[in-house]
């Protein structure tokens, strides 16, 4: 399962443009934070370093195990929760529940999101904040016409090189499918190539605000995370319980 951690770190771990926003929301909420889709701790650990009480939720046990190892190495206190966010049922209540990057677009469409938002409403403290980032509209591209983004690269201490290269963004019935080619080159030069596909649900801030209202959440002003050369920007829907 180490590869799961390595690919997650390579493709997601270096993104930091949104961190000031999550810090601000955690401060505004003034209570414990639930980080949904925490992975190896990109946001969780950043908040914990600033004294925020954070619970990291993810469906992948190896990612949470690595997060816990990193927290321990930094002597940070972080709780982890292995669960499907759509089935969340714990006694804790949170001042803020956040879904960074595009986690909200990986829940299986409107039905999955409504199950999740019901759990959000049930686990927020009165007046608590919910915030979810949405990818700006992704345009499909033909790799024969325009060059895809450069690959993400990482080299281990033993000389093994990991490369993750986006090769296409294609429209599908429910949204957009992002295709990547993952390559591992050993110190001896042995090359292993696999493909990875992920589908992001089509979702606008307007639609998500309407779904939040149906779940009993009250709209707050939308926040924005700027695009960079490497990453698309995000609209961040914010609501109160």
> Residue 79, SS3?
strand
Residue 135: pLDDT band with limits 50, 70, 90? confident
Q: Please compute, for residue 162, the number of CA atoms within 13 A of its CA located in the half-sphere on the CB side.
A: 18
pLDDT at 140 (0 to 100)? 47
Nearest to 17 by CA among 210, 175, 224: 224
pLDDT for 137 beyond 80: no
Report the chain's mean pLDDT, rounded to a whole number.
92
Other CB atoms within 10 Å distance of the CB of residue 181: 16
Q: Please give the average per-residue pLDDT across 50-75, as a whole number.
A: 98
pLDDT for 10 beyond 80: yes
Residue 31: pLDDT band with limits 50, 70, 90? confident
pLDDT at 85 (0 to 100)? 98
The superfamily in CATH containing domain 2-137+202-240 is Vaccinia Virus protein VP39 (3.40.50.150)
Q: Please give the average per-residue pLDDT across 65-82, as a whole number.
A: 98
Query: What are the φ and ψ backbone dihedral angles of 176, each rounded to 5 degrees?
Result: -130, 135
Write down the pTM of the prediction. Answer: 0.93
Distance in angstroms (rounded) separating the CA atoms of residues 231 and 149: 10
Provide the percentage of residues in the chain whose pLDDT is more than 70.
94
Q: Please give the average per-residue pLDDT across 203-222, as a whole number.
A: 97
């Amino acid at each position: 399962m180490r590869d799961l951690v390595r690919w997650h770190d390579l493709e997601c771990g270096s993104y930091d443009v949104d961190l000031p926003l999550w810090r601000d929301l955690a401060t505004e909420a003034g209570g414990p934070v639930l980080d949904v889709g925490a992975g190896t701790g990109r946001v969780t650990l950043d908040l914990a370093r600033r004294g925020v009480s954070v619970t990291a939720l993810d469906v992948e046990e190896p990612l949470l195990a690595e997060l816990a190892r990193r927290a321990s190495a930094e002597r940070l206190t972080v709780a982890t929760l292995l669960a499907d966010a759509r089935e969340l049922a714990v006694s804790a209540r949170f001042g803020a529940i956040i879904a960074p990057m595009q986690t909200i677009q990986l829940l299986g469409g409107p039905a999955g999101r409504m199950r999740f938002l019901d759990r959000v409403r049930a686990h927020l403290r009165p007046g608590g904040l919910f915030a979810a980032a949405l990818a700006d509209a992704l345009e499909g591209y033909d790799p024969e016409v325009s060059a895809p983004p450069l690959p993400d690269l990482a080299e281990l201490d033993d000389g093994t090189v990991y490369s993750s290269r986006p090769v296409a963004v294609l429209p599908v019935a429910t949204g957009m499918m992002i295709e990547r080619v993952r390559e591992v080159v050993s110190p001896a030069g042995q090359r292993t190539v696999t493909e990875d596909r992920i589908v992001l649900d089509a979702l606008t801030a307007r639609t998500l605000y309407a779904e939040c209202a149906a779940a009993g959440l009250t709209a707050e002003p939308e926040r924005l995370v700027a695009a960079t050369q490497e990453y698309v920007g995000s609209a961040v829907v914010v609501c109160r319980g």
